[in-house]
Structure 1
Amino acid sequence: MVKIVEWDKTLKHNQKFWQTTKPETINKARGIPTTVRNKRVIVAEERIRNILKLGDNAQDPVILSKDDVLDGFRGMGYVGDFRQKKEIKRNGLTRDWRFIVHVIAMSIAHRKGGYDNLNLEWSGAMLNLCLNQKFNLSGLIFNYMLENTRGHTWAMYPRFIQMLC
C-alpha cells in the first residue's frame, strides 16, 4: 500500500511540475521557471548538468550530422536503412548493440513507447557514449524538456523532476 501512495504522490508532483512550466529567456539564457515541491525553481541546462553529473559541458556537441551517425553505426555493424525514417532500428544491430539501444531508449530517451528505434539525436548520444567521445547530454535533455513545456507531456522524466529540489 505504501508504494502505491508514493507512486501517486510522484504522479501528482510530476503533473504539477509540467502544468506550471513556461519557457522563458532569463539573463540571456533559456530556462523553465516552474514549481517543484511548492518551491519556485528555474530549470536550465546548467542545473541539469549539476544534478545529473553527466560529465559533459555546454561546448560539447548536442547533435551529430546524419552522415556521422550513420557512419558510426555502420562501424557497429548496422545493416538497416537510416536515410528514410532517420531512425536507428534495433533489429539492424547485433544482439549486444540492441541491448544498449534498449537501455538508452528505456532509461533516458524521450520516449512514451516504441523502444525498438532511436531518433537522430539519441542515436548520436548513444554513439558518442559508446565511443567515449564528448557529447552534451544535459543539453539534449534540456532541449526535450523545453519541447515538453509546449505539450505538457507530464509523464517524462519523473525521477529527474524529483531531484530538482
Structure 2
Amino acid sequence: MIYSAVRKKNENDQDVDLEIKFNVGDLRRVLELGDDDDDPIIIPEHLCKGLWCRMGFTGHLNGKYLKTMFSKPYKFMIHYVVHALSHRKGAYDETSDYIMNIVTCLVLNRPYNVSQVIFDHLVDNIKGDKYIMYPNDDR
C-alpha cells in the first residue's frame, strides 16, 4: 500500500491535505490487465530458457539477454514489451529477467501477475520521496 497526501483547496479557499491510498488492486482495476493475485510473478528458469532456444536465441543462456540475439519476429515483440513495461531510461537492447518472464508468459499464453510487477517497481522508484509513507512496508 502506498500512502500519500495531496494538498488542494476546499470550498472556503483553504488548503487541506487529502489522504490517498493506492495498492496493487487499484492498479489492476485501472489498467485492466486481466491478471489476478494468484498469478505467478516468477516463472521457472528452465521453462524460460527452453522457450528462448525455441525463439532462436543465439547468446549464452546465463549471460545478458539482448533482444538482438532473438529471431526477427520475437525481437520485434520483445522490443515493444521492453518499451512499454521497462522502467529504464536507456539501453533498450538489454532485457531484464522480469521482462523475459512477461515475454515467456505471452508466448506460452500463461497467466502472469503483471500488475504486481508494475506496482513493485513503482514502489521502488518512489521510495525516499518525502511525501510517501510506508507503514510496515506493506505492498
Band of TM-score, shorter chain: 0.7 to 0.9
What is the alpha-carbon distance in structure 2 between the residues aligned to residue 136 and residue 70 of structure 1? 20
**Aligned pairs for 1:7-86 within 5 A:** 31-35=1-5, 38=8, 39-85=18-64
Alpha-carbon offset, residue 93 of structure 1: 0.4
Alpha-carbon offset, residue 96 of structure 1: 1.1
What is the alpha-carbon distance in structure 1 between the residues aligned to residue 96 and residue 7 of structure 2? 33
**Aligned pairs for 1:1-165 within 5 A:** 31-35=1-5, 38=8, 39-85=18-64, 88-150=65-127
Letter in 2 for 1:58: D
State, as a whole percentage, how many aligned pairs show the same letter: 27
Q: Relative to 1, partners in 2 of residues 1:110 and 1:151: Cα closer, same or farther, differing over 3 Å?
A: farther
Letter in 1 for 2:127: R
Q: Relative to 1, partners in 2 of residues 1:46 and 1:76: Cα closer, same or farther, differing over 3 Å?
A: same
Matched residue pairs, number? 120
Q: Does the 8 Å CA contact 1:125/1:137 hold for their aligned counterparts?
A: yes
Q: TM-score, normalised by structure 2?
A: 0.77
Which structure carries more helix by proportion?
1
Q: Relative to 1, partners in 2 of residues 1:151 and 1:131: Cα closer, same or farther, differing over 3 Å?
A: farther
Alpha-carbon offset, residue 103 of structure 1: 0.5
Larger radius of gyration: 2
Q: TM-score, normalised by structure 1?
A: 0.66
Q: Relative to 1, partners in 2 of residues 1:37 and 1:51: Cα closer, same or farther, differing over 3 Å?
A: farther
Q: Relative to 1, partners in 2 of residues 1:36 and 1:50: Cα closer, same or farther, differing over 3 Å?
A: farther
What is the alpha-carbon distance in structure 2 between the residues aligned to residue 115 and residue 35 of structure 1? 34
Q: Deviations over 1:108-137 (max 9, x none)?
A: 122211110211111001110222110000
